[in-house]
Amino acid sequence: MLRSLSLQPGLRLRTPALLLAALLILAGSAFAAAETVILPFDITDGMTPLSGFVADKAGNLYGVTSIGGNGNCSDFGGGGGCGAVYELSPPAKLGGAWTETVLYNFQGGADGDEVIGSLIFDAKGNLYGTSALGGGGTCTYGCGTIFELVPPAQAGGAWTKSTLYFFQGGATDGSYPEASLVFDRHGNLFGTTLYGGGPNCAAYGCGTVFELTPPPQPGDAWTETVLHTFVGPSSTDGYCPSSGLISDAAGNLYGTTGFGGAYNNGAVFEVSAKGVPRKEKVIYSFIGAPDGASPSAGLTAGPNGSFYGSASGWAQRTMERSFSLPLRSKPVAPGPRPFSMVSPCRRMAAFLMAGSFSIPRATSTAPPAWVETTPATPASTMAAASSSN
């Protein structure tokens, strides 16, 4: 179910940050808000959307559902759908009904299955995304894909879907790409995979950072390059990247891992723009209580090179050692897969408390260090907003 929230007249919030804080604690706030259900999903048009929207210039919203649609995947014991891409068009008049159009239904197998990450646009209006499962490779249900959806030449026509890359898993490639992608100015795509890249992390691999380069001629194959393979708990490197990447003006890539770092409570990492191979380094390791732990979302760029993000919890390192338990024993016999391939990282994060952090660059003539700070909590922020109104 998709919902919109609008603040009642008379409530004045002076900055976007305060608006965000209001939405975060809306359930326990004294401020009133009006909620509108934009679209109630049913299994035929998609189900269980796990990411946000991307909007076009006309105000249409585009999103994905991880299951549902008309595909025949094994969720719910069969026929649960493999996921879908949909468009929501706003009403002509305020207060009217939004119009949903299913642009594509995934069919599982080589076509892709379980679409989790948000979509992105290119300059021509084509959509790009990832499916966590399906495709091919060494994984039981496929190691995931990267796909493109091209809009029709005439309004109302069918969108054209093509698969740009099939992940192979194993020791040399990633698997389970559940995050969104990001373009650079040359049209290359960058992203992460939760697993793959080596034998560590319960034999699933600890995840990768990858680049997908477009072909010189349209229609030819895209080229994938693994930029970094996460090592896992045997080092201070991060592992289990479940979120997408952002880049700076120089082309350096930044992201988070739910585990690893110096204290095994998660990390923020950088992949350099130059060098063959590119160099990766951890720029911040989460300590645990009261610092934060297990960041599962990506970063947002702030002023002066700062980053903002959220940490799933305040857990101590000893709480997270259950990651070494495998997702399921191997080999896996063919048959219906579980409702959701929930990663060990996400299972552990369900036990953690929420927090937030920001990482500003320290100004110095020496190589820059990164310093983590915890902003004011939403409750204290809203209290300040209330007293000023």
**For residue 210, is it within any domain?**
no
Choice among 85-94, 136-145, 164-173, 285-294 with the minimum mean pLDDT: 285-294
Query: What's the whole-number mean pLDDT along residues 54-61?
Result: 95
From the number of C-beta atoms within 10 Å of its C-beta (0-12, 13-18, 19+), residue 7 rates as: middle
> How many angstroms separate the Cα of 155 from the Cα of each of 62, 82, 151, 170?
16, 26, 9, 42
**For residue 102, is it within any domain?**
yes
For the stretch 288-324, pLDDT in tens is: 877 788 888 899 988 878 888 888 765 443 333 222 2
For the stretch 79-137, pLDDT in tens is: 578 999 999 999 999 889 999 999 999 999 999 999 999 999 999 999 999 999 999 99
**For residue 196, is it within any domain?**
no
Would you state the pLDDT for residue 24? 37
Q: How far apart are CA 178 and CA 165, in angstroms?
A: 14
Would you state the pLDDT for residue 382? 31
**pLDDT at residue 44 above 60?**
yes
**pLDDT at residue 166 above 90?**
yes
3-class SS of residue 246 = strand
Would you state the pLDDT for residue 371? 61
Instruction: Band the pLDDT of 275: cuts 50, 70, 90.
Output: confident
For the stretch 237-274, pLDDT in tens is: 999 999 999 999 899 999 999 999 999 999 999 999 98
Query: What's the whole-number mean pLDDT along residues 188-212?
Result: 92
**For residue 80, is it within any domain?**
yes
**For residue 128, is it within any domain?**
yes
Contact predicate 197/207, CB 8 Å: yes
**pLDDT at residue 199 above 50?**
yes
Query: What's the whole-number mean pLDDT along residues 278-292?
Result: 88
3-class SS of residue 335 = coil
**For residue 116, is it within any domain?**
yes
Task: Output the six-digit token pair for 189.
Answer: 């795509």
**For residue 66, is it within any domain?**
yes
- How many residues are listed for the chain in this entry? 389
Query: What's the whole-number mean pLDDT along residues 182-207?
Result: 92
Local structure of residue 23 (DSSP, 8 states): H
- The dihedral through the CA atoms of 189, 192, 180, 373 has a sign that is negative
Higher pLDDT among residues 353 and 155, named by residue: 155
Would you state the pLDDT for residue 320? 31
> How many angstroms separate the Cα of 348 from the Cα of each of 88, 295, 327, 339?
34, 12, 12, 18
Higher pLDDT among residues 39 and 328, named by residue: 39
Would you state the pLDDT for residue 369? 62
**pLDDT at residue 208 above 80?**
yes
**For residue 244, is it within any domain?**
no
Instruction: Band the pLDDT of 64: cuts 50, 70, 90.
Output: very high
Would you state the pLDDT for residue 364? 43
How many domains, in total, are found in the chain? 1
Supply the range of the domain harboring residue 98: 42-166
Q: What is the pTM of this model?
A: 0.78
Backbone angles phi, psi at 284, to 5 degrees: -160, 135
Query: What's the whole-number mean pLDDT along residues 150-175?
Result: 95
Q: How far apart are CA 192 and CA 295, in angstroms?
A: 14
